[in-house]
């Protein structure tokens, strides 16, 4: 055998040395990599949040607002249901969640490498994230202790906390915690709150299909909510049922039978979207009736869901059909019973676009819809409906009031002057009775905003809210009894205890019954033959149109013996509309709403001169400012009460 030379021997030794060096370097890198990873996990272990308050849910107190029939209008804050044990839930509820969210839940140790690998492959194939690899334990760790930030640090903490949860609790305990704490949309946390919110039942009583709907919410609570999109919620529920079949929890025939229960989604009814204006207004007033002091409360209100839907439909249709051509972008409507109980409220064209409530917050000039208070003051000062005034060009000091289109009728009666909204006669009337007396009348009927103390007040130059203007008209509908605009009937705590309940001995009389009857006859003439003909119903009705300078505001406020309603149209920037007057869009919208709103109400005459006051009160009281309500909230009615006791001056 040939001997190797020295050079050959050296060449053989160098590769072995290089391999040893590479091995040492790899070991060195692995060691320091392990130290770095261990240090990283140690750091995150030291910065983990406290787990002492695991069973304590930190949340905002919830305010649940209900309509008069008990249906939900809105919730504020966080709504938690009753914590339930797994054995109290239908078997298929946790099964639906496991089949959809974490099919290997009972087989992994808090994290699922197989599930993570499967999700990673699916994401790579799709080119974007389509599946998450988080287990139910990881989701619980995130929900209990962490934020939803998509960071590496948060993910590491999530994994560590998931491992801790698996060490600390049994699988069933983890699942139970998860089902009672997970967010399921619409402010609800936990399956029991979701069952009440979406199906008006306890989670104990959920059907298989309802359980599938709730389990389907976990992926995207808002997107798959049956309130927001029933079709999408149904599609998602079908997928959950199929997941349960694949997981072996139910059979294919059971899934098909459950899918035929889609009608159960109808139970997840919700108030018309525009009722949020009403809900916000109610929520802002709760503190005036009781101190909720951080407790969950349920507020029952006077809102009629059917009337609310009709109100929104009437305003929306008017804006859709005539808004663009008439340069009208906003509308508002308030409807109440003659005792002031608010039955419907529309605060604008789109709550999602603007939460500003044009029914309660906007102060706009009422135009000629203010004239009833001028003529009420006139009747109280001895002027009769048959008295005549000369309708002709007029000058009062530096003021020259003009009629619409500058047309004049010569001698006219007070009744015709109001029916045809003649400005010159209204100006002469206020000059005779005095602006101070007109202001006193307006205050007596509940208008609280500052009013100009001059003759121009006759044409509605003061600013008022639609709510207080409408409630002032309610005194005519009731035959002279003051109307306290109210919405809250009862406030209860989470345990059913009554914190406030509306009650009272009766509101004061603010108009003499004979005078109130005469005013009703005058305002009936507005609809029968005057500017409000477009509002006419097939039952006794009365009201008044209103239009402000340059067509910036248009109103119609009217009533039957059962219902009072005010309608306003205009623009938020106060820009002029295109020749819109109170007798056109507002009167037609009022008519469209009132036809539907009163169709199940009895037909009754309006109170006439000397008629006894009689109107149905569906809530059992016609109360003055309730105890606990701020007295300054309605100084007009407070003044009326004082006048009724001591006599007005």
580, part of any domain: yes
Supply the range of the domain harboring residue 239: 80-267
The CA–CA distances, whole Å, from 432 to 250, 429, 498 equal: 84, 5, 52
Is residue 327 in some structural domain? Answer: no
**Residue at 560 is within a domain:** yes
Q: Please indicate whether residue 490 is annotated as part of the active site.
A: no
Q: Is residue 500 part of a domain?
A: no
Q: Which of 240, 243, 89 is nearest to 179 (CA)?
A: 89
Q: Are residues 254 and 374 in the same domain?
A: no
Q: Is the pTM of this model over 0.75?
A: no
Nearest Cα neighbor of 371 from 312, 286, 328, 433 is 433
368 is catalytic: yes
Q: Are 105 and 171 in contact (CB under 8 A)?
A: yes
pLDDT > 90: percent of the chain: 59
Residue 145 lies in a domain: yes
Catalytic residue among 62, 95, 101, 176: 101
Nearest to 391 by CA among 409, 406, 377, 376: 409
> Which of 76-80, 84-88, 140-144 holds the top average pLDDT?
84-88
Q: What CA–CA distances, in Å, run from 453 to 457, 461, 470, 507, 546?
A: 7, 10, 22, 28, 20
Asked, for residue 39, whether it belongs to a domain, the answer is no
d(C-alpha 102, C-alpha 116), whole Å: 11
Q: What is the pLDDT of residues 459-474, one digit of tens each?
A: 999 999 999 999 999 9
Q: How many helices (H) and strands (E) does the chain have?
A: 20, 14
C-alpha distances (whole Å) from 551 to each of 32, 525, 570 are: 80, 24, 8
- Within-domain flag for 148: yes
**Number of domains the chain contains:** 2
Q: Which of 322, 368, 369, 621 is catalytic?
A: 368
Output the domain CATH number for residue 103.
1.10.3810.10
Pair 475, 469: CB distance under 8 Å = no
The answer to whether residues 202 and 87 belong to one domain is yes
- Judgement on whether residues 262 and 405 belong to the same structural domain of the protein: no
Give which of 247, 90, 109 is closest to 170, Cα–Cα: 109
On whether residue 112 sits in a domain, the answer given is: yes
Q: Residue 12: pLDDT above 90?
A: no
At which of 267, 297, 312 does a domain end? 267
**Residue 236's closest CA among 248, 221, 247?**
221
State pLDDT tens for residues 511-530: 999 999 999 999 999 999 99
Q: Is the pLDDT of residue 342 over 50?
A: yes
Alpha-carbon radius of gyration of the chain = 35
Residue 1: the pLDDT is 43
Same domain (yes/no): 370, 240: no
């Amino acid at each position: 055998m040939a001997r190797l030379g020295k050079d050959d021997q050296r060449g053989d030794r160098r590769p072995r040395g290089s391999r040893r060096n590479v091995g040492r370097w790899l070991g060195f890198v692995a060691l320091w990599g392990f130290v770095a990873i261990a240090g990283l996990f140690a750091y995150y272990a030291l910065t983990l949040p406290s787990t002492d308050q695991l069973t304590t849910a930190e949340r905002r107190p919830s305010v649940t607002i209900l309509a008069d029939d008990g249906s939900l209008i809105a919730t504020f804050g966080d709504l938690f249901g009753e914590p339930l044990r797994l054995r109290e839930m239908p078997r298929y509820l946790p099964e639906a969640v496991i089949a959809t969210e974490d099919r290997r839940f009972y087989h992994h140790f808090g994290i699922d490498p197989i599930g993570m690998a499967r999700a990673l492959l699916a994401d790579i194939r799709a080119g974007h994230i389509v599946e998450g690899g988080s287990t139910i334990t990881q989701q619980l760790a995130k929900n209990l202790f962490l934020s939803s930030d998509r960071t590496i640090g948060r993910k590491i903490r999530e994994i560590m906390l998931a491992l801790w949860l698996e060490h600390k609790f049994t699988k069933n305990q983890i699942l139970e915690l998860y089902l009672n704490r997970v967010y399921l949309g619409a402010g609800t946390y936990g399956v029991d709150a979701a069952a009440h919110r979406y199906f008006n039942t306890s989670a104990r009583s959920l059907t298989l299909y309802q359980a599938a709907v709730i389990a389907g919410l976990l992926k995207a609570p808002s997107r798959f909510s049956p309130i927001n999109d029933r079709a999408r919620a149904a599609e998602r529920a079908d997928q959950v049922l199929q997941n349960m079949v694949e997981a072996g929890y139910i059979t294919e025939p059971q899934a098909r039978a459950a899918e035929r229960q889609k009608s159960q989604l109808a139970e997840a009814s919700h108030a018309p979207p525009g009722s949020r204006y009403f809900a916000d207004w109610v929520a802002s007033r709760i503190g005036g009736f009781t101190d909720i002091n951080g407790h969950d409360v349920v507020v029952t209100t006077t809102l009629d869901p059917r009337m609310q839907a009709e109100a929104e439909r009437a305003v929306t249709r008017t804006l859709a059909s005539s808004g663009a051509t008439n340069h009208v972008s906003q509308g508002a409507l308030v409807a109440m019973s003659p005792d002031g109980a608010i039955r419907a409220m529309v605060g604008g064209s789109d709550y999602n676009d603007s939460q500003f409530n044009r029914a309660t917050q906007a102060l706009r000039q009422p135009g000629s819809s203010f004239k009833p208070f001028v003529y009420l003051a006139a009747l109280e000062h001895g002027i009769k409906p048959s008295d005549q005034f000369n309708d002709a060009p007029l000058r009062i000091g530096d003021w020259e009031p003009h009629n619409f289109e500058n047309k004049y009728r010569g001698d006219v009666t007070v009744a015709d002057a109001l029916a045809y909204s003649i400005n010159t006669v209204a100006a002469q009337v206020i000059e005779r009775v005095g602006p101070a007396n007109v202001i006193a009348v307006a205050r007596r009927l509940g208008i609280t905003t500052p009013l100009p103390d001059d003759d121009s007040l006759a044409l509605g130059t003061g600013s008022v809210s639609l709510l207080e203007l409408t409630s002032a008209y309610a005194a005519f509908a009731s035959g002279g009894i003051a109307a306290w605009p109210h919405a809250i009937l009862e406030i209860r705590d989470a345990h059913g205890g009554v914190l406030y309940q509306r009650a009272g001995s009766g509101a004061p009389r603010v108009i003499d019954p004979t005078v109130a009857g005469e005013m009703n006859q005058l305002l009936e003439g507005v609809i029968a033959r005057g500017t409000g003909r477009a509002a006419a119903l097939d039952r006794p009705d009365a009201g008044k149109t209103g239009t402000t300078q340059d067509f910036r505001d248009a109103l119609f406020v009217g009533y039957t013996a059962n219902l009072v309603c005010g309608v306003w149209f205009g623009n938020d920037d106060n820009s002029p509309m295109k020749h819109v007057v109170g007798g056109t869009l507002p009167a037609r919208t009022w008519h469209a709403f009132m036809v539907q709103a009163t169709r199940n109400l009895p037909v009754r005459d309006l109170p006439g001169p000397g008629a006894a006051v009689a109107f149905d009160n569906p809530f059992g009281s016609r109360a003055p400012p309730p105890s606990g309500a701020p007295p300054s909230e309605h100084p007009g009615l407070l003044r009326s009460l004082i006048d009724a006791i001591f006599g007005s001056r």
